[in-house]
Structure 1
């Protein structure tokens, strides 16, 4: 007698798959809700406790953890000692195992309490999956409902060869690894501790057309345990997002989320090649976008826009006057959506700004993995270290600039005037070069009365001297150099106020 064991949480297509197996001569074994689903469809099925001779116990915690199940799955059909053992113990072979696991991920996203989460940790399911996958040479392991039709087709055609079995085993072990990674991370969340071994389980959402360049393959994966800005984004129109779009959006949206619309106003972030090229606050969408665009109308061409507000028709009309890759916002009015339809390839994203930033960042480094906390909630101070005090207007611009400079590649300098960036310099190996690049590339700008934000301390007083040449009135920086006093003295000489925050913001 040929046995197939079916025990699934996701019951999509299980009746059709069960019928197909019966038509191929298999006797079906099953449990609980899966058995009821199959039986209700008029398909003959045997309860697992009838097969094992042992009842389900402990509220279903133990039902398939039995030698007649795992012996029937794991014994090697080509080893005589194994054959003799199962014959002696009257263990029947189970040649097909169809299992998917308790909905731990779904229960997590529902926000269920700990006791429910614990009961949704599957034990018997992963055990059967791993047993069948280990013995894939003799046992067909099926874990994905999307594979049912193909599996039946291959079985009917007699094409279930070694390589096909191996591919199904790969999917099975990938499923259990992903599943266990979620449980591991859940326990680290509830204990507040990091284990010495750390596993990220990722689920592929889609393949991307290519990576940073056309010759690089790329895919988009989702982290099931994260609840950040992109966890629930909705694309409302436009082409498929590219690798570079998503990478750029990560910076643009996180920067836009630094500003609270209700207390600080509407912010518009313009970004190109993963670094801001213009950021502005305004009383409404149109003003914020216009100021952002005018801060650097050259760089924003072909870039992306992120706003912490609901984009209206007037702002949409201005945005459609240039080529943009993406516009991401809290939402869009119906009238704005009608305007954007004129640019059918323009990607529009509705972003959940209430979710909060990702609290952990991961980078691969040639076989090493770097993990750090996200640069949020740092212990920033506001210590005026010069004789001159910043005015209330300068203070607002200083705090604005410090938020922006966090998202510029180090060494980073940002110049701000009246809630608008008027110069952004980053990615330089010398801090003075970052400042000099702003002045040389923005020769038409009036820098008189602007403020300067730096992501790290000044090792020399050269930035202060250069800033004074262009009328910079106030500076904010972390401080911490052994030569801080040189910069303080230079500010006092030039009548510039300077603030130390004590918090560095390198972004490499």
Structure 2
């Protein structure tokens, strides 16, 4: 094996024909013989290029609707033969197998077929067989063969050939081989995942995950950690698919927190009015609904003005000028919304470090997907929490029943608690959070912290009493003892929503009755670790 490998013969067979003609012309000018199949051969030939059909090389026509065309020893022998082994060279000569030095293949559009909702049989027909086989053969023999699987690498190939007098370096072939194996792995992952879903297998024996590199991040959660961002190709509206209009590059923490903010605000249907969520360290520090976005933002901001500094703001409707003016009054890291007016963009343009992201819409909170987390030696996989609680699902367990207005605030609080790290306690009043306690080891401590924050905000705003007076409170899991409930009552809560299911439910219900507050059970919890 030598470092430089010349290109004398290339096989081009692509589904995505972007850049194919330009690449074909460039190779032909370098004296490279072109082999091709089906539509690729026709496109090259129509462009005036001299192309030899693979069927003419193998002596077998394409058959079975194109399923069989490159699965032949003449093709794979040309890709796999080692040029430095006498036995391989002799076998090539004996069986009239010509070496193939470059393979350019991109695969049948299986992922696109699935994304478009194609039926089962159509998806099956879009599973490529010959392409992955040739890619793997070429990648294995990268000591001699160059493989290109992505259109975006055509320019790199040309640059490599220009720099090395029509040859490729071993380092380049190694890089391309790694990319090629990543592509076939991702492709097989897509097929396996789709089929598991199609046949209803929720626990397949082997589960794989894949992503496509998007960018290198400056660092991870901390400056001593390296990090990168990968997308999964699902096109779910959010930080991965958003357009960034201004501001410096997003950091690891920015991406994580922006995702948390947008997923939370998406819980509030725009048809029911504007909603705004402010997030800090993946936890809500304020969520509000109002008649306008500005009112919703103000309500969210007034929950915890201190924590909102340097936070992430997510909106469920396009950003307008008035709201933009309010947001820039304090330092904000990122704003994400399903659109923004030109006037709002102009306001943000005065704050060059503020990132503005816009999307084509909101993510669907009920869309089924998988959530996974790495642990030492394995991966935890679960369905995404898509629980959608309705008023009719609630069970009133106290003597006092909640009013219609209280039920609205209870459901609001429940949605926010779903997106708050456990143990979570969320106080809500008039369509806005007024106290949030998150991530504590004790539910009692979460209730205390949320109430204390509300007291601090009341002092800062010059209010006579904290807004937790007369509020609704949500607990993401059951109260194991009555103490947490009593702390909420002491903070002024008049109604409570919680899952129920504690061994001491009777004790907790009795305490609620004695305090004269209404309480409903959901029967489901929202742990978020």
TM interval, short-chain normalised = over 0.9
Work out the CA distance in 1 between the residues paired with 2:110 and 2:332. Answer: 40
In 2, are the aligned partners of 1:408 and 1:426 still within 8 Å (CA)? yes
Residue 101 of structure 2 aligns to a residue whose secondary structure is strand
Deviation (angstroms), 1:302: 0.8
Task: From the superposition, tell whether residues 355 and 298 of structure 1 become closer, same or farther in structure 2 (CA, over 3 Å).
Answer: closer
Deviation (angstroms), 1:28: 1.9
Deviation (angstroms), 1:243: 1.4
Residue 49 of structure 2 aligns to a residue whose secondary structure is coil
| Equivalent residue runs for 1:268-287 within 5 Å | 268-287=276-295
- CA deviation map 1:124-143 (0-9, x unaligned): 11111111111222322222
- CA deviation map 1:389-440 (0-9, x unaligned): 1122211111111111111111110111111111100111111111112233
In structure 1, the residue matched to 2:447 is 435
Work out the CA distance in 1 between the residues paired with 2:166 and 2:90. Answer: 31
In structure 1, the residue matched to 2:438 is 426
In 2, are the aligned partners of 1:8 and 1:34 still within 8 Å (CA)? yes
In structure 1, the residue matched to 2:242 is 233
Deviation (angstroms), 1:25: 4.3
Residue 307 of structure 2 aligns to a residue whose secondary structure is coil
In 2, are the aligned partners of 1:132 and 1:139 still within 8 Å (CA)? yes
1:142 equivalent to 2:152? Answer: no
- CA deviation map 1:105-164 (0-9, x unaligned): 333334444443333221111111111111222322222342321342355265623x43
1:372 equivalent to 2:382? Answer: yes
Work out the CA distance in 2 between the residues paired with 1:132 and 1:154. Answer: 22
2:315 corresponds to which of 307, 314, 318: 307
Work out the CA distance in 2 between the residues paired with 1:425 and 1:261. Answer: 26
In structure 2, the residue matched to 1:210 is 219
In 2, are the aligned partners of 1:17 and 1:148 still within 8 Å (CA)? no
Residue 310 of structure 1 aligns to a residue whose secondary structure is coil
Alignment TM-score, normalising by the size of structure 2? 0.90
| Equivalent residue runs for 1:167-182 within 5 Å | 167-182=175-190
2:131 corresponds to which of 125, 128, 135: 125
- CA deviation map 1:353-389 (0-9, x unaligned): 4541462111111231111111112677311111111
In 1, are the aligned partners of 2:266 and 2:363 still within 8 Å (CA)? no
Work out the CA distance in 2 between the residues paired with 1:315 and 1:304. Answer: 14
2:425 corresponds to which of 387, 394, 413: 413
Task: From the superposition, tell whether residues 478 and 352 of structure 1 become closer, same or farther in structure 2 (CA, over 3 Å).
Answer: farther
- CA deviation map 1:289-328 (0-9, x unaligned): 1111112111101101111122222222211211111111
Residue 289 of structure 2 aligns to a residue whose secondary structure is strand
Alignment TM-score, normalising by the size of structure 1? 0.93
Work out the CA distance in 2 between the residues paired with 1:498 and 1:292. Answer: 25
Deviation (angstroms), 1:190: 2.3
User: Which segments of 5 or more consecutive residues in structure 2 lack a partner in the other structure?
Assistant: 1-6, 459-465
User: Which segments of 5 or more consecutive residues in structure 1 lack a partner in the other structure?
Assistant: none
Residue 286 of structure 2 aligns to a residue whose secondary structure is strand
In structure 2, the residue matched to 1:390 is 402
In 2, are the aligned partners of 1:17 and 1:152 still within 8 Å (CA)? no
Residue 295 of structure 1 aligns to a residue whose secondary structure is coil
In structure 2, the residue matched to 1:488 is 509
- CA deviation map 1:75-128 (0-9, x unaligned): 233333333333222222222222222222333334444443333221111111
Work out the CA distance in 2 between the residues paired with 1:379 and 1:272. Answer: 25
Deviation (angstroms), 1:235: 2.3
Question: Which has the larger displacement, 202-211 or 108-117?
Answer: 108-117
Question: Which has the larger displacement, 293-302 or 310-319?
Answer: 310-319
| Equivalent residue runs for 1:345-364 within 5 Å | 345-357=353-365, 359-364=369-374
| Equivalent residue runs for 1:34-113 within 5 Å | 34-113=40-119
How well do the aligned residues superpose, as a CA RMSD in angstroms? Answer: 2.2
Question: Which has the larger displacement, 191-200 or 74-83?
Answer: 74-83
In 2, are the aligned partners of 1:257 and 1:353 still within 8 Å (CA)? no
Deviation (angstroms), 1:68: 1.1
Work out the CA distance in 2 between the residues paired with 1:360 and 1:202. Answer: 14
Residue 306 of structure 2 aligns to a residue whose secondary structure is coil
Work out the CA distance in 1 between the residues paired with 2:376 and 2:159. Answer: 38
Work out the CA distance in 2 between the residues paired with 1:392 and 1:426. Answer: 27
Work out the CA distance in 2 between the residues paired with 1:447 and 1:355. Answer: 31
- Corresponding pairs, count: 506
Task: From the superposition, tell whether residues 15 and 309 of structure 1 become closer, same or farther in structure 2 (CA, over 3 Å).
Answer: closer
Task: From the superposition, tell whether residues 266 and 151 of structure 1 become closer, same or farther in structure 2 (CA, over 3 Å).
Answer: same
1:335 corresponds to which of 332, 343, 346: 343
Question: Which has the larger displacement, 90-99 or 268-277?
Answer: 90-99
In 2, are the aligned partners of 1:252 and 1:305 still within 8 Å (CA)? yes
1:452 equivalent to 2:473? Answer: yes
Work out the CA distance in 1 between the residues paired with 2:160 and 2:43. Answer: 20
Work out the CA distance in 2 between the residues paired with 1:192 and 1:26. Answer: 48
1:164 corresponds to which of 157, 172, 175: 172
Residue 474 of structure 2 aligns to a residue whose secondary structure is strand
In structure 1, the residue matched to 2:4 is none
Question: Which has the larger displacement, 438-447 or 169-178?
Answer: 438-447
Work out the CA distance in 2 between the residues paired with 1:44 and 1:130. Answer: 27
In 2, are the aligned partners of 1:230 and 1:352 still within 8 Å (CA)? no
In 2, are the aligned partners of 1:425 and 1:435 still within 8 Å (CA)? yes
Work out the CA distance in 2 between the residues paired with 1:429 and 1:200. Answer: 32
